[in-house]
Structure 1
Amino acid sequence: MKLEIKKYKLTKYIKGIFIATVCIIAFITVSLIDSMTDPKQTKDTYDSIIRMLNLLVTGTFVIFSSVLTAKYIIGEYKDRTILLMFTYPIKREKIILTKLAMVCSFTGISIAISYALCVVYVTIAEAIFDVTASTITLELIIYGIKEMIISVILGSVLSLFPYIIGMTKKSVSIPIIIGSLVAFMQTPIMGRNPALTDAFLKIAILLIIALLGVKLTLINKINELDCSVN
């Protein structure tokens, strides 16, 4: 994984994390100002803002990860440049799985960083300007941490699905489309405010489906490359 990070200079995407976070903060700011200034609206509650952040942050970085998947995994397979890596004395499945692990890790870390920055921003804004209808309590802070953990794990799992469909179709555009669809399907999949046990149960089911899809895709596509080489 260290070689992959160095090879593709993934550290340059750190800038993208902060740009995306600034855009999310800008969206939240507009929403907060609108709810404060429009007499027909009531202020958002702290927990409703947290739920909004979950959708925005997780969705943004699932799409972000689909771009990485398209460029660094499916693109290499489609262009057959991955055959060079297959000459290394490393199992081919391990090479692909390392790339996937890199994408999943990047997604989870990005979500954690962005989420934390957004929550700190909202907390400071609430302390100074009283932008929410809630008083921030220890219970709400624990709720926010719980939601962050769910978002990090969910985003990492969802980032596998663009690979499965994209590799099946051998297309670099399909993963981005699938990533966008998956991002918009978060609420139908998870529900609006699932209990912790329900959330982890749903994530576990998604993970099992994703791992089965990854395994089948690996077997089929590696065999396909072997046949084309022979």
Structure 2
Amino acid sequence: MKALLKLISLEIRKNKLKSLLTGAAIVNLAILAFMILVIFIDQSESEGTFNTYSDVFEGLFVFVKAAYLIFASVIISKLIIDEYKNNTITLLFMYPISRKKLMTAKIMIVFIFTFVSIIVSSIVIGAILLGINYFVNIVQGELTLHLITTELIKTVASAFYAAGIALIPLYFGMKKKSVPATIVSAVLVTSLISGGFDQARLGNLAAVSISLGLLGAGIAFLAIRNIEHKDIA
């Protein structure tokens, strides 16, 4: 475990991934601005979408999840696909480091970043929206401790599945050794599970989220298992 943590730390420093925090901050500001705009516009409609706190939390999570699923594909491209495309992975494989451990470290960075970012972003942006609503009182209803607890549990569970789903583009990126294929596949998956507010979303179905999360985990497992024999040319 110590060796894996060291590899993760080295990958973060080598790829200057601390800059992702700046990107995440920009993403969160964009989501916050969009949510404020949508909520205010929604109030002018005869039948609003965000009538309750539950509606607001659900809408927020949809935006956060969609943003970080695509963000994860960018990280996959930077950590893995680019190195295969430019053949710099060959140099890495010359070091006395297990290929499986190296790939595991890269995939763990994507999974952990996506998981933590979705949770932190949902909580921070949600808290800001609640603070704004305290003064303008747009969203009606009572905010109870039970509702907050329920939403937090749901967010953590959904973030875990989403982090698994975020690994699905790895298959398309590795197959084509293509950054565009990686990102486009992420956009397609995101559109599939996050489309629409007024109709049932696939992402709201637990069975679908679990299945896609397991699919992403399976793709990651195969990428790690086959790395010792995979042609890097």
Fold shared, TM-score > 0.5 on shorter chain: yes
Question: In the alignment, residue 61 of structure 2 is paired with which amino acid?
Answer: N
The 3-state SS of whatever aligns with 1:223 is: coil
2:231 alignment counterpart: 225
The alpha-carbon deviation at position 219 of structure 1 amounts to 4.9
* Aligned pair partner of 1:25 in 26, 32, 39: 32
For each residue in 1:166-203, what CA deviation from the matched residue of structure 2 results, as whole angstroms up to 9, or x when unmatched?
10122111110111112122244332xx5xxxx3x554
Distance 1:19 1:220 in 2: 36
1:189 alignment counterpart: 202
Distance 1:177 1:28 in 2: 24
Q: After TM superposition, what 4+ stretches of structure 1 lie above 6 angstroms from structure 2?
A: none
1:69 alignment counterpart: 76
The alpha-carbon deviation at position 130 of structure 1 amounts to 1.1
The 3-state SS of whatever aligns with 2:231 is: helix
1:57 alignment counterpart: 64
TM alignment of 1:1-230, pairs within 5 A: 1-36=8-43, 38=44, 40-42=46-48, 44-187=51-194, 188-191=201-204, 199=206, 202-220=208-226, 222-225=228-231
For each residue in 1:92-139, what CA deviation from the matched residue of structure 2 results, as whole angstroms up to 9, or x when unmatched?
122111101111111112212211111101211222211212211112
Q: Which runs of 5+ in 1 are unaligned?
A: none
TM-score, scaled to structure 2: 0.85
For each residue in 1:43-86, what CA deviation from the matched residue of structure 2 results, as whole angstroms up to 9, or x when unmatched?
52110111111110011011011011112201101211011111
For each residue in 1:8-67, what CA deviation from the matched residue of structure 2 results, as whole angstroms up to 9, or x when unmatched?
11111111111111111111111221233x262445211011111111001101101101
Question: In the alignment, residue 216 of structure 1 is paired with which amino acid?
Answer: L
Q: Which runs of 5+ in 2 are unaligned?
A: 1-7, 195-200
2:198 alignment counterpart: none
- Count of matched residue positions in the alignment of Structure 1 and Structure 2: 219
Distance 2:40 2:66 in 1: 23
Distance 2:173 2:139 in 1: 42
**1:70, 1:172 within 8 Å by CA — same for their partners in 2?**
yes
Q: CA RMSD in A?
A: 2.0
**1:24, 1:57 within 8 Å by CA — same for their partners in 2?**
yes
2:3 alignment counterpart: none
Residues 19 and 12 of structure 1, relative CA distance in 2, 3 Å threshold: same
Residues 94 and 189 of structure 1, relative CA distance in 2, 3 Å threshold: farther
**1:63, 1:183 within 8 Å by CA — same for their partners in 2?**
yes
The alpha-carbon deviation at position 151 of structure 1 amounts to 3.3
The 3-state SS of whatever aligns with 1:49 is: helix
The 3-state SS of whatever aligns with 1:75 is: helix
Percent sequence identity over aligned pairs: 28
Question: In the alignment, residue 190 of structure 1 is paired with which amino acid?
Answer: G
Distance 1:61 1:208 in 2: 18
Q: Write 1 or 2 for the structure with the bigger share of helix.
A: 1
Distance 2:213 2:123 in 1: 24
Distance 2:67 2:224 in 1: 27
